[in-house]
Structure formats: structure tokens, C-alpha cells
Amino acid sequence: MSVIALKNINKSYGSRMILSDASFNVDHGDLVGIIGRSGSGKTTLLNILGFMDIADSGEYFFDSQLIKPKDEKRMTVLRRDEIGFIVQDYGLIKERSVFYNIALPLLSQNTPKKEIKHRVDSIAEQLKISDLINEYPHEISGGEAQRVAIARALIRKPKIILADEPTGALDESAESDILEILHALNRTGVTIAMVTHNQVVANICKKLYSIVDGKIVPV
């Protein structure tokens, strides 16, 4: 069963074709890597997968449901509830504590405070960042910041995690730490799709695809 299925997607910027009749699946439990040379369209693809951009034509099925470009409300809900995002520079709110950053996806709903605390504490424990909960982003290391970002991405129990160069800003030791976390999450059933040009990152993926001349091809 696919979490995501793209069928015959086309995407251009002006006269520049980025994706051309591209099809792609991410199945439940997958750990998928998307590689390809700079400018080949990896981030464009991830933005389409995350409903942050829309393809010019083709079909997008999320959990077997066709999502049409005009379904903006549905896309907003999917982006908020079903997809966890991890980016290279962590994307944390600098003025806010680690606790607040992790809790953020729960704050837009009327989740009771007690439940928010319980869920943040539990995910922080899982990611071994419980002792950082009252720190601010500038007080923690890059590897710790990415753990916080992963906790935030997981807190709504999304159907898929989309990661753009998740270790791109980290040194080797923090990189292997984050890769081990992503790998372990996948072993517990979390579906992950990530974009990378890093071979070490690509090596942990169960399936690898490359974008070549606008097509998404298995490597």
C-alpha cells in the first residue's frame, strides 16, 4: 500500500522542464532516498510531495486518495496532520524553548495542556533530549537541534516524514547519530522519504531513486 503515489507528473518553471511524465511511489514502511545532480529537481519533487508546491499536471494520490490541485483545504490538513518535515537547517523557532518547538504542531488545535506535556515528554524521551526541554535553540548543538526537529516532525504521528538533506549542516559524528535515529524510526514502521546528495545518507535507504531528465528512476 502506498502512502504516496505520483502518476505522470509534469512540472516546469517558465520554459524550464523540471519533472516530465514522472511517476513515483512511497509505500508504507519505506525508507526512500532521492538523489540526483544539483538542479535536477529533488527539492521541487519534495515540495510537491509535501503540498508546498503543485504540479502542472498529473495525479497525486495520498493514502490512495486523489488530491486535486484545487483541494487546498485538504492539502493544508494533510501538510499539518499527516506529513512531518525535516530540513537541513532544523527550522526551529529561535525565540522559543525546545519544549515549545516540539509542541508547536499541537498548538493549532485545542489539545489540552496536560496532553501536550505528556506527548512532548514522551517523544523527547524517545529522542533522548528530555534534559534539553527548557533550553533555547542557540544553546544546543546542531545534532541536538535536528533531534528536536525530528521530535516536532513526529509529534502528530504523521503518515510520512519528508526530509531535505537532514544531515547537511552536521559534522560526521552528529550525522551518524541522526542517521541512526532515522533508521531506527523506520524499523519501528515510520515511512521516510528524503532528498540528499550525500552517499552516507543514501546508504541507509532501502530504495534509491534519481531524477534524470525529469524522470524519477530507480538507482
Ligand X SMILES: Nc1ncnc2c1ncn2[C@@H]1O[C@H](COP(=O)(O)OP(=O)(O)OP(=O)(O)O)[C@@H](O)[C@H]1O
Write out the E strands in 138-191.
160-164
Residue 51 contacts residue 83 (beta carbons within 8 Å): yes
Residue selected from 18, 55, 106, 145 as contacting ligand X according to rule CB under 6 A: 18
Is residue 11 close enough to count as binding ligand X by CB under 6 A? no
Residue 32 contacts residue 192 (beta carbons within 8 Å): yes
Is residue 166 close enough to count as binding ligand X by CB under 6 A? no
Number of residues counted as binding ligand X (CB under 6 A): 11
What is the CB neighbour count within 10 angstroms for residue 177?
A: 17
Closest to ligand X by CB, 97 or 196: 196
Per CB under 6 A, the segment of 37-45, 65-73, 93-101, 155-163 that binds ligand X is 37-45
Per CB under 6 A, the segment of 36-44, 66-74, 87-95, 110-118 that binds ligand X is 36-44
Which residues have CB under 8 Å from 156's CB, separation 6+? 80, 81, 82, 84, 105, 106
Is residue 13 close enough to count as binding ligand X by CB under 6 A? yes
Contact positions vs ligand X (CB under 6 A): 13, 18, 36, 38-44, 197
